[in-house]
Amino acid sequence: MNIKSFLEKKKSGEPLTMLTAYDYTQTVWCCAAGIDAILVGDSLGNVIQGKGTTLSVTLDEMIYHTEIVTRIAKQKCDAKSRPLVVADMTFPFGHTGIEDGVAQAARVIKVTGCDAVKVETTWEDAPLISALVKAGIPVMAHIGLRPQQILNLGKFSIQKAEKALLKDADAVADAGAFSVVLECVDADLAEKITRQVPIPTIGIGSGAGCDGQILVVTDLLGMDPDFVPKHARQYATLAQTAIDAIKGYVSDVKMRKFP
């Protein structure tokens, strides 16, 4: 998968599949399952580091995880079947100047070898997107609920501001973004945005009308026994499977049945 073939999915009407991944094992699973794209998300702050927000995730941490995912994706898949790998840019990316933003994103691309970066945006960030694209850095925009703005938002909720979100979507597309994530956008509005913009929309908690969907891999696999986001669907319950297995090991050791 490359940027061109990613864009062609919208034209053909074939839904795009995307998951987050953060390490060797998750990347192997995604590649074996034939996923179209992997996001190395700053959600690693939540699901890997166990923190309440993504705000403390550093650029160096993103580079560390993205290099692993990109390298393994290239090792495990041929060029045609390899998923597109996208790296999240961390808070407060885009708010320290365009020149600094381009330098940070270029570092991510150069060090990790990933295919693109994802940037939480509004229409006001169009100049930054244009500068990144001009520098040769493909950009996946992210509008709607933006977790890096949680201190201003106060809580996570469905985004319904139609005029503002349509403006955001048009602006990022016009600036050169090759796709846009719609997070927790009202389903009818997300479908309207999808019809309006020429680039693929990737929904998370935004209904079935988007060009593709993304989930956090640990949510999909049921790896947290205590939390499942409202918008997620568990396709497995690996947490309970792992807990049961470890309990079996503990019991066997104590009963001198292992080794």
Return the pLDDT at 186.
98
**Is 22 strand, coil or helix?**
coil
**Structural domain includes residue 249:** no
Q: Which residues contact 48 (CB under 8 A, 6 or more apart)?
A: 22, 65
CATH number of the structural domain spanning residue 92: 3.20.20.60
- Here the tokens at position 228 are 């499942």
**Tens of pLDDT, residues 15-28:** 999 999 999 999 99
Return the pLDDT at 45.
97
**Tens of pLDDT, residues 147-187:** 999 999 888 899 999 999 999 999 999 999 999 999 999 99
User: What's the domain count of the chain?
Assistant: 1
Low-confidence ranges of the chain (pLDDT < 70): none
User: How many residues are present in the chain?
Assistant: 259
Q: By residue range, what is the domain housing residue 145?
A: 3-220
**Structural domain includes residue 238:** no
- The answer to whether the beta carbons of residues 55 and 33 sit under 8 Å apart is no
**Structural domain includes residue 236:** no
- Here the tokens at position 16 are 């795009």
**Structural domain includes residue 47:** yes
- The answer to whether the beta carbons of residues 143 and 121 sit under 8 Å apart is yes
Number of separate helices (H) and strands (E) present in the chain: 11, 8
**Structural domain includes residue 89:** yes
**Structural domain includes residue 246:** no
The catalytic position among 99, 124, 183, 191 is: 183
CA angle at 134 for the pair 133 and 137, rounded to the nearest 5°: 40
183 noted as active-site residue: yes
